[in-house]
Amino acid sequence: MTALRTSLRGLSWLAFFAIILLAWWVMFDMARMSGVDLWGRPVGMNMMPMESFGTLFAMWAIMMAAMMLPTLVPTLGTYDALIRSADGTRAGWIGVLLGYFLVWVAVAALLAVVQVAFLNTGIVNGLGAFTSLWLSGLLLLAVGLFQFSRLKAVCHGVCHSPMSYFLGRWRTGFAGGLRMGAGMGAFCAGCCWGLMALGFVGGTMSLVWMGLATLFMVVEKLPELGTHVTKPMGIVLMTAGLGVIAYAATGM
C-alpha cells in the first residue's frame, strides 16, 4: 500500500509539471504563429489573429495554466503533507488542483471578454497591447497602488499560508478538495489579478512578461520570501507607471 501511494504521488506530480510545460510550449508556439518575438514585438506575419472570444478565451486559459499552476506548488505540497499526517487523499489533492484551475478558467473568460471589448473600441491592438501610453501608465500605477491595499494583504495572507487555509476549511475527499481549491483560487485571483492585467501593457503575447510575472507570483507565495517582495514590487510598478505617464505627457 505504501509503495502504491508513493507511485501515485510521483505520477500526480509528474502529470502536474507536464501540464505546465505543455502550456508553456503551446504559448511559445502561439507567439511564433502570431509573428512576435519573446517581448511581444511584431517581427513577422500574424498567422493566428486573436480577435474573437473563442480564440482569446483559449489563449487566456492556456496562459493561466502556464502562469498560475506553478504558483500552486506550495499549496499542493502542503496538501501532500496532510495526506501523510491527516486524512487527506490523492483524490482530494486532484480536487484542489482542479478547483483552483477552474477559478482561473473563469478569470480567463472574463479577460477574454474585456479584450474583445478593448479590441472593438481600439483600446488595444491585435497583439493585446494598449494603444495609449496613458492607459499603460495608469494601469501600472493602479496595480502598484493595489500592492499596498487591504484586499491585497488579505488575499496574499491566504495564498502565502496554505496550511492555515486548509486547517480552517478542511474538507475530505475529491469534493472537499475541489471546494478548498476553488476557495484558494478565489483568494489567489484577488491577489494576482493586477499582474495578469498588466499583459495589456506589454502585450498579451509577450513571453517575457509572462515569465517575469510568473516568477514574481511564485516568489510572492514562498513562505520565506513572500511578505518581503509585495510592497517593493508596488513601488517598482508605481515608479514605472509615473515614468510612462511622464513620457506620454511630453508627447514624444
Question: Percent helix, strand and coil across the chain, each rounded to 5?
Answer: 80, 0, 20
Residue 1 scores a pLDDT above 70:
no
Bigger pLDDT: 107 or 227? Answer: 107
Contact (Cβ atoms closer than 8 angstroms) between residue 70 and residue 219: no
Report pLDDT for 140: 96
The pLDDT score that the predictor gives to residue 206 is 87
Q: Would the pLDDT of 151 be above 60? A: yes
DSSP assigned state of 203: -
Evaluate if pTM is beyond 0.85: yes
Q: In this structure, what are the phi and psi dihedrals at residue 130, rounded to the nearest 5 degrees?
A: -55, 140
DSSP lists the bridge partners of residue 124 as 130
Q: What is the pLDDT of residue 4?
A: 63
pLDDT of residue 223: 73
